[in-house]
Structure 1
Amino acid sequence: MGISECDDLFPSIGSQQPWLMQSHRRPKYEREFMNPYNHCILNRKIPQLKWKLCLGCFEGWLLLVDELTKETFFLHRNLDLKLKVCLPSLRGESLEDLGGCVVSSSPLSRSCMVTFVGRTKDIIVYCRPNINARWTKLSLSIDSEAHHRFTGQVVRYNGKIYALHGGAVTNRIVVIHEDSLLMGDCTYIILLMPIAIYGTHHLVVSSHHMFLVSVSNSNEGQGFPASCIIHRVELSDYTWKRVESIGGCVFFLGGTQSSVLSPYQAGAQRDCIYIANQYYGEGIYKICMQDQIISLSLLLKWPGRWRSQLCWLMPTRVYHSWTRKREMYSLTHAIGTDKSDATHVHEEEKKKEKCRVDIARPWADMPTELMELLLRRLYLMDCLCLTSVCKAWNSLSNLIQSSKVHPWFMYTTNDKSCLWRLFDPVYGKEYSIDMTWLGFSQDISFQYSKDGWLLVLKEGKYFFLINPLTRECIDLPEKDHYYRFVGMSFSSSPTNSDCVVLVVSSYERHFLEISTWKPGEDEWSNMKFYYRFCCPVPGNPVFTGGKFYYYPFRGKLSVYDPNKRTLQTFKTKAPLEIDENATKIMQGYLMESMGDLITVFRESPEDRLRIFQLDQQKMAWSELDGLGDFNIFLNHRTSLAKPFLEKRCPNPIYLSQFADEHCKSIASYSLETIKCQPADRSALKEPTNCIWIEHSRRA
C-alpha cells in the first residue's frame, strides 16, 4: 500500500499534528480521528483494523489485538501488512484486565520487550517479539489490602517501569526493574506520591524528567476538570517537587498512553496539557498552565467504556514552515495585556481628567437623605469605595446593606502574583485584590464560601478563613493531609460563636473521618464512621437547619449533626436514575435556598439542567419547573441561589466559566430557552481556582 493511499486513512500521516483515534462500536473497522486544535472530526473505514483493538501507538507502530482470535501484533502506521511484527496470542487473558503497555525499543529490534501492567489487578504480562512463544504472567503481592491494585497507568524510562498503584486514592508508584523480568522475577520498590486526591493521575516522561499530573474533577472524578497539580520527580533520589510549568512542552494524556511533544512539534502553545477523559469525561480538555485556564477543546462522540478505546497518534517527523512558526509566535504571545485595550483605557482616563470640576463645598456636608438615595443605586465596589471619600462617611452604618449585592466570581491566575480577581457577572467588570500578606496566589486553593468568608487551603495542609474584602483572617489548626479531603464547608460567618467548620476525609475504603472546628478551639474534633456509599457527590456539604447535608449521586442522603456528632443516612430516591454502566457524565450541584435544599442535575452536557427540591419531611426529591425570582450561581465548590436584582436577566443560571476568549463575560444558562450562552461549549474557559462569593449583609 502506498503512502498516498494511507493519507486517506490516517490523517496524521499527511499532516504533522496530533490526532486522537477512537474506535466505534460498529462497524468494527471504522475509526474516528479527532483534532483537538480545530475541532475537526474525520471518520475512516480501515479494513486492516477490522475487529482490532489498538492498545497503543509507539514511534509509528500500532499495537493491535484481534478481538475474536486474540492474535497480537505490531503494524506500522503505513498499514503495510508486510511490516507486521507478530507477538504471542493473548488467548486466555482478559483484555479488560490489561492496563497500559510500554515498549522498550523498536519492535524490529531483538532487544524489544513489551510489558503490560494490570488494570485493577496486580499482574505483569510481558514478552519479547520473535523470541518468546508465549506471554509470561506474574502475579504480585504488593499490598495485602484487597482494594489496592494497579490502576493501569504506566510509563517507562531508562530501564525502569513506573506503574501507578492504589485504591480509592492512588497514593504510590511501583518502580519495576525491567532486567528482573528477563530473569523470570519482578524486583520493585515503592515510591510514595506527594499528594492524595480523588481524581486521575498521569505519569509523563519528558526529556530527563518524569512528571506526575494530578487532575481532580468537579464532581469527585466526574465532570469538568477542576484543578491540575503537577509534580516533578528527581529520578536520581526519588524526591518530589511541585512545579507550575512542564518545561515548555505539550502533554497529551488519556487513552492508552501518555505522550509529550515540544510546542513546535505539536504546533500548539507551550505549557499546555490536552487530556482525554475516557471513563468519566465527555471530551478533550485543554489545560493552560500559564494562565490556569481549563477549556473544552473537543467533544467526544462516543464517550465512556474501555471498549471505546482512545489512542493518541503523534507526528512521525518534524517539519514546520515559516507560516507555522509565525502562527506559533502569535500563539506563544497571545496571553498578556491587549495593547488596544490599554490605549483605550489611557484615553478614557485623559477624558476624565479634563472633565474634573473643582467643588468648593465638602462632601461631608451632603445630607443623609441624599446619601440613602445614592446608596440604593450603587453596587458593591462603589459602595466600598465611599468610605475613603471623607472621614464623616466612615461613620455611616449599614453601608453595604443598602447596596445591590449579588455573588461575584472570584478566581486566581498562575502569574506568580498575589492578586485575587473579582468579576461582576452582571456588568462584566473586574477588580483585583492584593493579598501580598497571604503569599502567592498559586499556593492558595479556594474550598468553600459563605457570608463573604472563604475557606482556603494553603500548600495543601494549612487552613484559613478569610474575608477578602475586609482583610480579616482566622488561622485554623493544621490537619494531616495524608488522607484525601472529599468535602469542606462551614455553617456561618466565623465571627459568630456558633460557627462550625466541617472537613470530610476518606482514610480507608468505606470509612469517613468528619472533623469539626469552632471559634476558640485549638484543635480539630474528629469522628470516624463506617460509610459504604463512597461515590461521587455534587459539591461540598451544605448547612441548613443546624445540620450538614452530604449527597452522593446514586447513594443515600447523609446528614451530620455537629451538636450530637452523629451521622445519619436516609433512603431517598435519586433525582435521576442512572444506570451503573452508564457512559454519560453526571453533573450535579447542591445548595441551600431559604432553608430548602436544592440540587441541580444534568445527565450530560447536551441535556437540559433540571432542578430538584428536597421535602425534608418525606425525604423525597421533587422537580421544580422554575426558580421564581431567583438566580442560581453554579460551581463545584460552592453553589448559590439568590433573589435576582436585574429585570433584564430573568431567571438565568450563571456558570463558573468565562464565555469568551478574553474573559469579559460569564457563561449562563436560561431555563426559558433551555440554552447555554454561548452555545459553543469549546469557547468556555474555567479557571482552575475559582469560586462564587457574596458579601455579608451583617451590620
Structure 2
Amino acid sequence: MGVSECEDLFPSGFSDQPWLMQLHGGSETQEFMDPYNRCIVERNIPQFTGKLCLGFYKNWLLLADKLTKETFFLHRTLDPKLKVCLPSLRSVSFNYLGGCVISSSPASKKCVVSFVGRRRDFILYCRPKLNVRWTKVSLSIHDSENPDDQHRFTGQVVRFKGKIYILHGSLVAFRVVVINEDSLLNGDCSWTIIQMPNRIDGWYHLVVSGNDMFSVLVATSNLRRGLPATCTVHRLETSDQTWEHVESIGGCVFFLGGIQNSALTATQAGTQRDCIYVVNQNYGFLHGEGVYKICMQDQTVSLCLSLKKPIPTEWICKLCWLMPTRVNRSSKGKCKTLSFTHSIGSYKSDGTHVHKKEEKHNIDISRPWADLPVELVQLLFSRLNLVDCLRLSSICKAWNSVSSHIQDAMAYPWLMYSTNDSCSWRFFDPIHGKEYFIDTTWLGFGKNLTFHYSKDGWVLASKENKYLFLINPLTREFISLPAPDFDINRSTAMSLSSSPANSDCIVFVVFFNDLQVLEISTWSHGEDEWNKLSFNNEFGYCMPCNPVFTSGELYCYKFNGELSVYNPTKKTLQTFEIKAPIEMVVGGDRIIQCHFMESRGDMITVFRERAKDRLRIFKLDRPQLAWREVFGVEDVTIFLNHKTSLAVPCPEKRCRDLIYFSGFADEHLKSNASYTVETNEYYPEDCYHIREPMNCIWVEPRI
C-alpha cells in the first residue's frame, strides 16, 4: 500500500499532530480524536478491524486480534510487508494485561517487548525475532512498612535508561518498582522500590521526556466530581532515585492516559508549551469523561475533547495516543486561538453580551480636588468598588477623613487564584472586568497554597498537606491552626461558621476515615488542638458540595441527596426528611453537579447534570420542609465554585438573573463564563472555551 493511499484511510492531518485513537476490537469502525480541533472522526480501516492496540514504538503499532489473540507489529504505512509477528497471548486475559514497553525498533533483533500485569504482579516479555513464546515472571512485592499490603501493579509502565519503572499500588499508586531489563532477560529479576512523592487521591502518570523522567499527579476531588483539581509534577533525580518538585516541564508537551504516555517538544506537538493533555480516567464512573488540557504556567484546566461516546468500561477497549510522524510548521494553526473581545461588557435582559465603547472626555482640572465638599465624597463611596474607594481616599489630605466609609463600598465577590509564575495571588472582579495582584512575599510561603473555603473575606488554606491556616489576603491578617491529625488532601469538605475575626468562629473539616466512619473535626478560637467526633457512616460515602453554616448549624448534602445537619453545640448529627429536589445519582453511577449556599437566611441549591444543561435553582421552604424551584434570581447574583458558592444582593441591573462560574470565557483570562437564568443561555456558548484555574475560590473582599 502506498503512502498516499494509507493517508487517505486516516483522518486529514493524521501525520502532523497528536491524535487519540480507540480500537474497539469488535467494531468495523475506529475512532480518531483530535484534541486541537475538538472533534471525533470515525474511519473504517480494514487492517484495524477486530484489533486492539496494545502499544506503539515510533511508527510501529502493536496490535492484537481480540478473538484469536494473535499479536503483531504493523507499520503506520499499513504496508503488509512491514509486519512483525509476535507469539500469541492466548494464555493471558486482556483484562489483566497492563501497558508495555518496547526497547527498540521491532525490525531489530535486539527488540524486547515487555508487558506488565494490571491488578496482578507479573511481567511478560519476548524478543519478536528470536522467541516463539512469551516468558512470564511472577513477582512477590511486599511493602516492608505494610507487610499485609495487597496492592498490585496498576498497569502503568515506562522504560528509562535500560530500566523498567512500574507503578505499584491500588487505584492510587504509592510506589514505583524499578527492574533492570538485563536482569529480567538473564532470569535473575531483581528490583528496587521508589516511594512516590505524595499520597493523594488521583492518577499518577510516568512519562519520559528527553533525558528526564517525570511523575505527574493529576489529583481529583470529591467536590469536582472526578475532574482534575490539581496537577503536581516531579522530576526523578537518577543519582539518588528521589523526586524533585518542578513547576515547568521544560517547554515540552505531555500526552497522558491510555496505554502509553508520550512527550514532545512544543514545536513537534504544534501547540502551546508547558501543557499537559490528559485523558480522564473515570471510565464512565463519574462526570468528566474526556481529554483535558492543563496549562502549567497559569495552572488552568479546560476541556479540549468531550467523549460523546463514554469510554467503555472494559479495560481492553484501550485508548492510544499516536504521535506525529513529521513536524508541520503550520500545525500551530490547528490549536485555535479564541476570538473573544476583551472589553468590559454588560448583559442585556435578553442574554446578549454588549460591549461598551470607550469615550473621551475633556476634564477641567483648573480647580483642586480638595475643593470638592467632603459630603459629596462620602456619597461616592456607596457607588464605587472597593479598589476605587481606596484610591479615592488617597487623592488628597482632605479626603483622608472619609476613609472610615470604605466599608460602604460595593465589594462583590472576586475570583482568587494562584499561578506558578509569580509570588502573588490574582483576583478577578467579574462585575467590572478588572484584575488585581497581591504580593505574597510578606507571608513567606505564599506559593503553592491550596484554597479550601472562604467566608467574609477570609480564606481557609493549606500548605503541603501539613499546615492549615486562615488568612485575609487584603488585610494580611493570619491565623495559624493546630497541626491536623487528619489527611488534609483526603478531607471531603471544609467550612467556616463566620468570619475568623469573630471569637465564635468555628472551622469544620469533614473526613471519611473509611466506608463506615464519618469524622467531623472542629476548631475554635483559643483551642490548641482539633476536636474530633465520629459517626456511623449513614451519611453517605462522599458529599457533592461543601457544607453551609447557618442559624447555628452546619447543613450538608448526603451522597443520596438527603440533607443532614450537624449541631456543634449539641454535637449531634441528624438527617432531615428533606430529599434533594432532583436525584443526585443518575443511572446508578453518574453524579449530578451540585452547589449549595446561603443568602440572607435562604438556603439555595443549584443543580446541573452536564456542561450545557439548563441550571435548576431551588430555595428551601423551611416551614414545609421542601425545596421549591425558582425560575429567576433577580434580587441576587450567584457565583458558583466547587469549593465556595455565594449568592449576594444584585450589584447592578445588568447582573440580574446572572450566574458567574469560576472559569474564564477566553484564553487570556479577561472575562468570566456566565449563565443567564431568564434565557437559559451560556457565555461563551461552547464549554470548550472555558478555562478554569484549578486552585481558585470566590472571595468577598473585606477590609
Task: Give the TM-score of the pair, scaled to structure 1.
Answer: 0.85
State the percentage of identical aligned residues. 57
The letter of the residue matching 1:53 is L
Q: Which moved more, 1:290-299 or 1:490-499?
A: 290-299
Quick check: 1:461–1:480 contact (8 Å CA) kept in 2? Answer: no
Residues 515-558 of structure 1 show CA distances to partners (whole Å, capped at 9, x for unaligned) of: 32222223333445564877553343332343334445457655
Which of 315, 319, 339 is 1:310 aligned to? 319
Residues 242-269 of structure 1 show CA distances to partners (whole Å, capped at 9, x for unaligned) of: 1110011110111112100112211222
The alpha carbon displacement at 1:328 in A equals 12
2:205 equivalent in structure 1: 202
Could you tell me how far apart the structure 1 residues matched to 2:553 and 2:122 are? 45
Could you tell me how far apart the structure 2 residues matched to 1:539 and 1:240 are? 33
Could you tell me how far apart the structure 2 residues matched to 1:618 and 1:468 are? 41
Which of 438, 461, 480 is 1:433 aligned to? 438
In structure 2, relative to structure 1, the CA distance for the partners of 1:625 and 1:134 (3 Å cut) is same
**1:687 equivalent in alignment to 2:690:** no
The alpha carbon displacement at 1:580 in A equals 6.2
The letter of the residue matching 2:482 is P
1:421 equivalent in structure 2: 426
Unmatched segments (≥5 aa) in structure 1: 339-347
The letter of the residue matching 1:316 is T
The alpha carbon displacement at 1:505 in A equals 4.5
Residues 93-131 of structure 1 show CA distances to partners (whole Å, capped at 9, x for unaligned) of: 432333322223333344433333343444444444351
- Determine helix, strand or coil for the equivalent of 1:316: coil
Quick check: 1:269–1:328 contact (8 Å CA) kept in 2? Answer: no
**1:187 equivalent in alignment to 2:186:** no
1:484 equivalent in structure 2: 489
In structure 2, relative to structure 1, the CA distance for the partners of 1:228 and 1:664 (3 Å cut) is same
Quick check: 2:612–2:687 contact (8 Å CA) kept in 1? Answer: no
**1:671 equivalent in alignment to 2:677:** yes
2:106 equivalent in structure 1: 107
The alpha carbon displacement at 1:7 in A equals 0.3
**1:576 equivalent in alignment to 2:583:** yes
The letter of the residue matching 1:427 is H
Could you tell me how far apart the structure 2 residues matched to 1:555 and 1:146 are? 35
In structure 2, relative to structure 1, the CA distance for the partners of 1:104 and 1:631 (3 Å cut) is same
The letter of the residue matching 1:291 is D
The alpha carbon displacement at 1:9 in A equals 2.1
The alpha carbon displacement at 1:222 in A equals 3.2
Query: Within 5 Å, which residues of 2 pair with 1:404-415?
Result: 404-415=410-421
In structure 2, relative to structure 1, the CA distance for the partners of 1:545 and 1:255 (3 Å cut) is farther
Q: Which moved more, 1:7-16 or 1:464-473?
A: 7-16
Could you tell me how far apart the structure 2 residues matched to 1:649 and 1:75 are? 58
Could you tell me how far apart the structure 2 residues matched to 1:250 and 1:402 are? 48
Which of 239, 252, 267 is 1:264 aligned to? 267
The alpha carbon displacement at 1:156 in A equals 2.0
Residues 449-483 of structure 1 show CA distances to partners (whole Å, capped at 9, x for unaligned) of: 11111112234433231112222222223336866
Could you tell me how far apart the structure 2 residues matched to 1:101 and 1:570 are? 52
1:64 equivalent in structure 2: 63
**1:136 equivalent in alignment to 2:136:** yes
Could you tell me how far apart the structure 2 residues matched to 1:511 and 1:108 are? 56
How many residue pairs match? The answer is 673
The letter of the residue matching 2:490 is F
In structure 2, relative to structure 1, the CA distance for the partners of 1:138 and 1:668 (3 Å cut) is same
Could you tell me how far apart the structure 1 residues matched to 2:191 and 2:679 are? 58
1:450 equivalent in structure 2: 455
Could you tell me how far apart the structure 2 residues matched to 1:500 and 1:585 are? 30
**1:160 equivalent in alignment to 2:166:** no
Could you tell me how far apart the structure 2 residues matched to 1:471 and 1:64 are? 59
Could you tell me how far apart the structure 1 residues matched to 2:113 and 2:558 are? 41
CA RMSD of aligned residues (A): 3.6
Which of 294, 297, 313 is 2:304 aligned to? 297
The letter of the residue matching 1:492 is S
- Determine helix, strand or coil for the equivalent of 2:653: coil
Could you tell me how far apart the structure 1 residues matched to 2:269 and 2:604 are? 44
In structure 2, relative to structure 1, the CA distance for the partners of 1:107 and 1:240 (3 Å cut) is same
The letter of the residue matching 2:278 is I
Quick check: 2:369–2:396 contact (8 Å CA) kept in 1? Answer: no
Q: Which moved more, 1:398-407 or 1:69-78?
A: 398-407
The letter of the residue matching 1:374 is L
Quick check: 1:547–1:560 contact (8 Å CA) kept in 2? Answer: yes
Could you tell me how far apart the structure 1 residues matched to 2:622 and 2:118 are? 42
Quick check: 2:221–2:229 contact (8 Å CA) kept in 1? Answer: yes
In structure 2, relative to structure 1, the CA distance for the partners of 1:516 and 1:150 (3 Å cut) is farther
Query: Within 5 Å, which residues of 2 pair with 1:190-269?
Result: 190-217=193-220, 219=222, 222-269=225-272
- Determine helix, strand or coil for the equivalent of 1:37: coil
In structure 2, relative to structure 1, the CA distance for the partners of 1:631 and 1:111 (3 Å cut) is same
The alpha carbon displacement at 1:286 in A equals 1.7
- Determine helix, strand or coil for the equivalent of 1:606: coil
Unmatched segments (≥5 aa) in structure 2: 343-357
The alpha carbon displacement at 1:594 in A equals 3.9
Could you tell me how far apart the structure 1 residues matched to 2:166 and 2:509 are? 31
Q: Which moved more, 1:120-129 or 1:70-79?
A: 120-129
In structure 2, relative to structure 1, the CA distance for the partners of 1:194 and 1:541 (3 Å cut) is farther
In structure 2, relative to structure 1, the CA distance for the partners of 1:580 and 1:134 (3 Å cut) is farther
The alpha carbon displacement at 1:429 in A equals 1.8
Task: Give the TM-score of the pair, scaled to structure 2.
Answer: 0.85
1:642 equivalent in structure 2: 648
In structure 2, relative to structure 1, the CA distance for the partners of 1:172 and 1:569 (3 Å cut) is farther
1:359 equivalent in structure 2: 368
